[in-house]
């Protein structure tokens, strides 16, 4: 995982590294009292302890405590500011990366999986940077300094002290692979469970409408049970490692204690050395035990690092080093082919052009490739072969932001953010005046129903626009496209959710919208595109017919059959069976 190095992120990284240095310095001063204790005991047992030495040792203690406090405050400040700043930079980097990923990435990833990465996994990393890393470095520094002093005081007892730590590390190594495998499975299952919960909550109306509440609940229950089982396994493995390590340290301390007293009784270890060694070895074991627990937690959080690194390593759409901005807005598809990730070829050798001020309609059966053409033009995917030109410029030679500034898109499934109607409209053009905003709403035939709401344009639409009907959501999306006033308009069955009473007004608004612009629209109701300047008929990823309505009807091909089928359906009536 790599965090982008901007001026701010470099400063945050520097703060974080400085916090580690402060933490190590704090640990250094934390070992001073043991040195003072050793000197005091040697003086007492040696018979040369006096008031001057006491004052000197007290001053050293006070100075070390003050310096320890200063280092602790500095470490916490730099750690929290640097760590949270780095996480802010990382979140922005992930958000920017998600904007550049092809649409196919989202098709193969569950919503709950991405939600887990953006919430839980990032929180794990934030805690690792702001708390655990500094704490672990501090405890390891204390353990290292204390261990060095133990070896300096008596190398025999020092080596015996290290032996139990080596045994504990061997235990950690033995359970590491199993713990890693189970932790990885738990993280994956947690993402699956999030997806199941989101699916259950978002689809509760459909589930209940078809009497599937129990079945839907079983799906969630099964995911929760699997997560519970994996969580218990993780805790058991972590418990075995932690308890085993603690037991080995306790046994090691008892052995050191027994050996130290034996050496003292044999006259091979001074009384002062015995006392200091026992105190310092206890401190050493405590720091090693805490370090082991922190290491285990960081190892678990390491799975979050892996998931975020995998997300950042997803291949994004390339950006040109030297971007080109076209000065005109005609569209040209040149022998374009595209294959979905499953391997099936979605489009095959598609070629056509669309001029400014014209409407090009895409028709054909489901799965013919109509939406894929719109997505390729918006560069949600990259073509497998051929090229797409806007104003004679390959869209791969344009920056994505510049490309999207040229496009206004109304998809078949409109999404509104959980915000006010006004703010949802201003997404298209934040600097639009209130008059321009209202004019766009009037053109899309949504001003009247908006003003009828209690808070008018300040009404909250709910998550995904849940407080509005499907037709109201679609009209707001159309108003958003009108407000953007982009030179190229992409419409994916924009009138699909519009009631018959408003369809005529919407078509008039569209006529004003598309004047002087390049329009590419997908339509299933052929009556809505009979006046189009150009109609492209697709079937199984191929362009099988091309022309205007009159010519295509005379051709008596696929388009004319679709038209006749829809005309015959218009006269259908439902009658109650006798």
Give a yes or no: residue 501 inside a domain: no
Give a yes or no: residue 449 inside a domain: no
- Asked if residues 444 and 506 have their Cβ atoms less than 8 Å apart, the reply is yes
DSSP letters for 79-105: HHHHHHHHHHHHHHHHHHHHHHS-HHH
Task: State the pLDDT at residue 214.
Answer: 54
Query: Helix (H, G, I), strand (E, B), or coil: what is residue 495?
Result: coil
* Phi, psi angles (nearest 5°) of residue 102: -65, 155
First-to-last alpha carbon distance for the chain, in angstroms, is 70
Q: What count of other Cβ atoms lies within 10 Å of the Cβ of residue 552?
A: 21
Residue 463 is encoded by which pair of tokens? 């998550």
Q: How many domains does the chain have?
A: 1
Query: Which secondary structure element, helix H or strand E, spans residue 347, and what is its range?
Result: strand 345-354
Paired with 22 in beta bridges are none
Please, is 445 exposed, middle or buried when counting C-beta atoms within 10 Å of its C-beta (0-12, 13-18, 19+)?
A: buried
Which segments of 101-203 does DSSP mark as H helices, in order? 103-108, 111-116, 122-127, 133-153, 155-202
Q: What is the mean pLDDT of the chain?
A: 78
Give a yes or no: residue 528 inside a domain: no
Give a yes or no: residue 230 inside a domain: yes
Q: What count of other Cβ atoms lies within 10 Å of the Cβ of residue 238?
A: 19
b vs e for 23-58, b when ≥16 Cβ sit within 10 Å of the residue's Cβ?
A: bbbbbbbbbbbbbbbbbbbbbeeeeebeeeeeeebe
Give a yes or no: residue 329 inside a domain: no
Q: What count of other Cβ atoms lies within 10 Å of the Cβ of residue 70?
A: 14
- Asked if residues 110 and 30 have their Cβ atoms less than 8 Å apart, the reply is no
Among residues 234, 258, 245, which one has the least CA distance to residue 285? Answer: 245
Give a yes or no: residue 57 inside a domain: yes
Residue 273: give its domain's CATH number: 1.20.1560.10
pTM across the whole model: 0.65
Residues of the chain short of pLDDT 70, as ranges, are: 1-10, 103-104, 107-113, 172, 175-177, 179-180, 183, 187, 201-217, 238-239, 341-345, 412-413, 494-513, 567, 569-578
Rounded Cα–Cα distance for residues 60 and 340 (Å):
72
Greatest CA separation for the chain:
119
What would the 3-class secondary structure string for 221-233 be? HHHHHHHHHHHHH
Task: State the pLDDT at residue 202.
Answer: 65
Which region holds residue 348: left if phi is over 0, alpha if psi is between -120 and 50, else beta? Answer: beta
Give a yes or no: residue 548 inside a domain: no
Domain span at residue 214 reads 7-312
Give a yes or no: residue 279 inside a domain: yes
């Amino acid at each position: 995982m790599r965090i982008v190095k901007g001026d701010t992120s470099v400063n945050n990284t520097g703060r974080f590294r400085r916090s580690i240095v402060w933490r190590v310095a704090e640990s250094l001063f934390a070992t001073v009292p043991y040195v003072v204790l050793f000197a005091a005991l040697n003086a007492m047992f040696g018979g040369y302890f006096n008031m001057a030495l006491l004052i000197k040792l007290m001053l050293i203690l006070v100075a070390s405590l003050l310096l320890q406090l200063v280092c602790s405050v500095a470490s916490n400040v730099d750690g929290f500011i640097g760590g949270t700043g780095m996480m802010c930079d990382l979140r922005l980097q992930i958000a920017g990366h998600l904007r550049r990923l092809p649409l196919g990435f989202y098709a193969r990833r569950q919503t709950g999986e991405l939600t887990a990465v953006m919430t839980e996994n990032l929180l794990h990393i934030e805690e690792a940077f702001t708390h655990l890393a500094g704490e672990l470095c501090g405890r390891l520094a204390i353990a290292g300094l204390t261990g060095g002093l133990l070896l300096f005081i008596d190398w025999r007892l020092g080596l015996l002290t290290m032996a139990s730590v080596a045994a504990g590390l061997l235990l950690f190594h033995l359970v590491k692979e199993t713990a890693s495998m189970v932790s990885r499975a738990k993280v994956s299952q947690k993402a699956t469970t999030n997806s199941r919960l989101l699916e259950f909550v978002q689809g509760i109306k459909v589930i209940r409408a078809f009497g599937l509440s129990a079945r839907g609940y079983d799906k969630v229950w099964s995911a929760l049970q699997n997560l519970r089982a994996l969580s218990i396994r993780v805790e058991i493995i972590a418990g075995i490692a932690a308890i085993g390590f603690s037991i080995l340290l306790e046994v090691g301390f008892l052995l050191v204690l027994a050996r130290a007293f034996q050496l003292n009784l044999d006259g091979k270890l001074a009384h002062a050395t015995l006392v200091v060694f026992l105190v310092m070895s206890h401190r050493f074991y405590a720091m090693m035990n805490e370090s082991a627990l922190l290491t285990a937690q960081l190892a678990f959080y390491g799975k979050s690092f892996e998931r975020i690194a995998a997300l950042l390593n997803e291949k994004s759409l390339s950006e040109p080093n030297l971007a080109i901005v076209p000065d005109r807005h005609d569209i040209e598809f040149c022998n374009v082919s595209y294959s979905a990730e499953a391997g099936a070829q979605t489009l095959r050798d598609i070629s056509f052009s669309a001029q400014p001020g014209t409407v090009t309609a895409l028709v054909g059966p489901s799965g013919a490739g109509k939406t894929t053409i719109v997505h390729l033009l918006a560069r949600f995917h990259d073509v497998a072969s051929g090229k797409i030109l806007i104003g004679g410029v390959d869209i791969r030679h344009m920056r994505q932001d510049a490309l999207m500034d040229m496009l206004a898109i109304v998809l078949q499934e409109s999404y509104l953010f959980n915000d006010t109607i006004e703010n949802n409209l201003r997404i298209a053009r934040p600097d639009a005046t209130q008059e321009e905003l209202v004019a766009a709403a009037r053109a899309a035939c949504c001003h009247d129903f908006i003003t009828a709401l209690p808070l008018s344009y300040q009404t909250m639409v709910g998550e995904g626009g849940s407080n509005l009907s499907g037709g109201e959501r679609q009209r707001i999306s159309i108003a958003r496209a009108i407000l953007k006033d982009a030179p190229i308009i992409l419409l994916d069955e924009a009138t699909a959710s519009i009631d018959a009473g408003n369809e005529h007004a919407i078509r008039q608004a569209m006529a004003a919208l598309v004047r002087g612009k390049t329009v590419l629209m997908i339509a299933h109701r052929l009556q809505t595109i009979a006046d189009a300047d150009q109609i492209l008929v697709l079937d199984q990823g191929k362009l099988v017919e091309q022309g205007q309505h009159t010519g295509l009807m005379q051709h008596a091909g696929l388009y004319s059959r679709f038209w006749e089928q829809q005309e015959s359906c218009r006269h259908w009536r439902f009658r109650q069976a006798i």
